[in-house]
Amino acid sequence: MATRINKYLSEVGYCSRRVADRLIEEGKVTINGKIPEIGTKVEKGDKVKVEGQRIEKSTKQKNIYLAFNKPVGVVCTTDRGVEPDNIIDFIKYPTRIFPIGRLDKPSEGLIFLTNDGNIVNKILRARNNHEKEYIVRVNRAINRDFIQRMSNGVEILDSITKNCFVKQLGPNKFKIILTQGLNRQIRRMCDSLGYRVQSLKRVRIMNIKLDVPTGKYREFTKEELLELNGLLENSSKTFD
């Protein structure tokens, strides 16, 4: 059965669909020696290459799910040209994996890596309302007004952020739980209210908590993966 090229690259564990679309747009993907358009389908027997490397499905591929504690300074990209800061070269995992979503370079904490393209969009899509928890420290004292305004939505990127849970943990420290993932969302929310983020750490994604030292990773436990699959059961795989 024919498969869209971005889905094909996702299913074989090469990259996420979004990254696949970017590679196609950049002319780095070929099907039978020809550069495809986004939406082109791969038929049985077609030869798919990315930057000249043959990409094939493996019936023996084992799904990999890693929880990684990203340090500040590491870039969440599979682009090996980002030296020496890209996440793939930092981890040096023996088989091809890619990050689910991202944490910006100045941020740290939990990020998932996998070779299972089917799970990526289910986790990332905002409509699925999957929680991500962060601990944030800002440059000056916060108060009840700051907590309420952050909780009730802040205007950034020509939109209002969704209501979220925010709790003060110290004079200039708070916990925030988001179910959306706008670009640099927390930093932009704080900037909008006149604060500057000094440190930002993600400590939970859905049911998976950060419990490994900085720069280390571990595989999901069987129990975590079972619970995660249950949370994802009714989630959509496509983007808005």
pLDDT tens, residue by residue, 18-66: 888 889 999 999 999 999 998 899 988 899 999 888 887 664 568 899 9
Is the preceding omega at residue 84 within 30 degrees of 0, hence cis? yes
State the CATH number of the domain containing residue 222.
3.30.70.580
Burial of 1 (0-12, 13-18, 19+ CB in 10 A): exposed
pLDDT more than 90, % of the chain: 62
In a domain, 239, yes or no: no
Residue at 185 is within a domain: yes
Kindly report the backbone phi and psi dihedral angles of residue 162, in degrees, each rounded to the nearest multiple of 5, phi listed first. Answer: -70, 150
Least confident of 49-53, 115-119, 217-221, 233-237: 233-237
pLDDT at res. 220: 95
Averaged pLDDT for residues 192-221: 97
Answer whether residue 71 is part of any domain: yes
Q: Kindly state whether residue 86 falls inside one of the protein's structural domains.
A: yes
Percent pLDDT > 70 in the chain is 92
Q: How many domains does the chain have?
A: 3
Amino acid at 150: M
**How far is residue 208's CA from residue 62's CA, in Å, rounded to a whole number?**
20
End-to-end CA distance of the chain, in Å? 26
Looking at the structure, do residues 107 and 91 belong to the same domain, yes or no? yes
**Kind of pairing between the strands at 197-205 and 173-178:** unpaired
Q: CATH number for the domain including 159?
A: 3.30.70.1560
Strand partners, 218: 67
Q: What is the mean pLDDT of residues 91-97?
A: 90
Residue 50 burial (CB < 10 Å; 0-12/13-18/19+)?
Answer: middle
Tokens of 126: 């905002």
Confirm whether 151 is domain-assigned.
yes
Tell me the per-residue pLDDT of 123-160, one tens digit each, with 9 for 90 and over: 877 566 789 999 999 999 999 999 999 999 999 999 99
Position 87 in a domain: yes
What pLDDT, on the 0 to 100 scale, is given for residue 154? Answer: 95
For residues 35 and 149, membership in a common domain is answered with: no
Tokens linked to 5? 């090229």
CB 133 within 8 A of CB 203: yes
The CA-CA-CA angle for residues 47, 21, 76, to 5°, reads 110
**Do 138 and 201 share a domain, yes or no?**
yes
Task: Report the catalytic residues.
Answer: 104
Prediction pTM value: 0.77
The residue range of the domain holding 51 is 3-55
Run of H or E including 124: helix 117-124
Question: In terms of domains, do 107 and 217 share one?
Answer: yes
Task: Encode pLDDT of 164-180 as tens digits.
Answer: 999 999 999 999 999 98
pLDDT higher than threshold 90 for residue 162: yes
The answer to whether residues 85 and 117 belong to one domain is yes
pLDDT at 58: 60
